[in-house]
Amino acid sequence: MYSICYRSPLSCNSKESNKKMNSVKTEEDIGSIGLVKEQFATICEPPDELILDSGRKLGPITIAYETYGELNEARDNVILLLHPLSMDHHAAGRYAPDDRKPGWWDNFVGPGKAFDTSRFFVICSNCIGGCRGSTGPSSINPATGKPWGATFPVITIRDMVNAQKRLLEKLGIDKLFCVAGGSMGGMQALQWTVSYPDKVVAAIALATTWVHSAQNIALNEVGRQAIVADPNWNQGDYYGGESPRRGLALARMVGHISYLSDKSMHEKFGRKLQDRDEISFDLLTDFQVESYLQYQGLSFTQRFDANSYLYISKALDYFDLSRGHNSLASALRDVQARFLVLSFSSDWLYPPYQSREVVSAQKRGGKQVSYCEIQSDYGHDAFLLEGEQETPLIRDFLRHVREETHA
């Protein structure tokens, strides 16, 4: 089902490993995290503002976050989860018993799950630039009393990580047992180990890259142009009026295509028609896949801010872990964290070779790294969906690191 590349404490090909994977419990077998509540912290208050990569200052900053599990007395059981672009701090559980859906990584977070809340204190925070409680372009600029809009400073992945570090300081947490995330979250996990090498014991990076490629940038630029071409964007000053829903929906449609694989789209939709037996021979929505993308785009506009999409997608495009260094290996030189890197065979947004580049650079530097390419037809979204394959890898990795560092 999967294979470990390079030296690893995990044994992917053993009968015991296969047995473990086949015996992974489902959500029905394992108790849910239950009801959770979002929390808010104010950090970087003047004159101690956050200095951004652009040179601008940002503060005060509000960070929305959630916690799961209990912080132990030694305060050394903390796992920081880092979300992808379109998600937020609500990683697990429900806010109310009748919530239609739990948090975006609920199948991974909870008692006995990959991130076992009976052992670890798990934190997930909403990145700066977001629109679900953390300071971003839809927040009020204290200098003007109006929403920031397009006057919000441009941010980077490193800025997000620096803000998270300030949040942890506010919470009295000096060191992380693990940072973990997929996609944009994986980039933040990598950046954490480089920016704060002595503050991270372990890192898990899933379906991610160390540098945004020309193809990645091109896809994001199409989405951004769709937003700014919407007449309702109004140079980013649309709060209190009509928002650029059409542009944001188009951006989401483009992005969503990149999250899927050719095989998964073929199996789910093929060339099936929508609500008709024959093609229309006009410009109506004929195919189910067209209707599906339109639905995805529309639903996204109901929970996400167009300006946040502009800022966060730009942060992705600026991401280059080797920036300021001679090479990727040089950037990773001081990293102390033990690594688990997972890629997915059908992910064409961040193909497995990009994960292998990270692993190779770590190996050249003598770092402790485990790598696994998981066979999956889900495309980039596999890191959210392949819990049955990912859970034993993550759980065993965390257990090995815990045993090695607490011997």
Q: Are 123 and 67 in contact (CB under 8 A)?
A: yes
Q: What is the pLDDT of residue 23?
A: 36
Catalytically annotated residue among 380, 381, 396, 400: 380
User: Does 15 score more than 80 pLDDT?
Assistant: no
| Catalytic residue (one of 86, 183, 343, 370) | 183
Residue 4 has pLDDT above 80, yes or no: no
Q: Which part of the chain has CATH 1.10.1740.110?
A: 219-312
Judge whether 4 and 14 are in contact, CB under 8 Å. no
Does the active-site annotation cover 380? yes
Tell me whether residue 256 is one of the annotated catalytic residues. Answer: no
For CATH 3.40.50.1820, list the domain ranges present in the chain: 2-211+320-405
Average pLDDT of span 18-30 = 40
The angle, 0 to 180 degrees and rounded to 10, between the axes of the packed helices 157-170 and 306-318 is 100
Q: What is the pLDDT of residues 205-215, one digit of tens each?
A: 999 999 999 99
Q: What is the mean pLDDT of residues 343-356?
A: 98
Q: Which of 347, 377, 381, 396 is catalytic?
A: 347
At 6 the pLDDT is: 36
Sorting pLDDT into bands at 50, 70 and 90, what band is 394?
Answer: very high
Within 8 A by CB and 6+ apart from 150, the residues are: 137, 235, 236, 237, 307, 310
Whether the per-residue pLDDT at 137 is higher than 60: the answer is: yes
Residue 383 vs residue 275, higher pLDDT: 383
pLDDT per position as a tens digit, 94-124: 999 999 999 999 999 999 999 999 999 999 9
Class of domain 2-211+320-405: alpha beta
Q: Is the per-residue pLDDT at 295 higher than 90?
A: yes
The predicted model gives 140-156 an average pLDDT of 97
* Region 65-69 average pLDDT: 98
Residue 325 appears among annotated catalytic residues: no
In this predicted structure, what is the pLDDT of residue 31? 60
> Residue 375 is encoded by which pair of tokens?
């066979």
- To the nearest whole number, what is the mean pLDDT of the chain? 92
In terms of CATH architecture, what is 219-312? Orthogonal Bundle (1.10)
Each residue of 223-275: pLDDT tens digit? Answer: 999 999 999 999 999 999 999 999 999 999 999 999 999 999 999 999 999 88
Q: How far is CA 160 from CA 42, 125, 257, 316, 319, in A?
A: 15, 10, 26, 11, 11
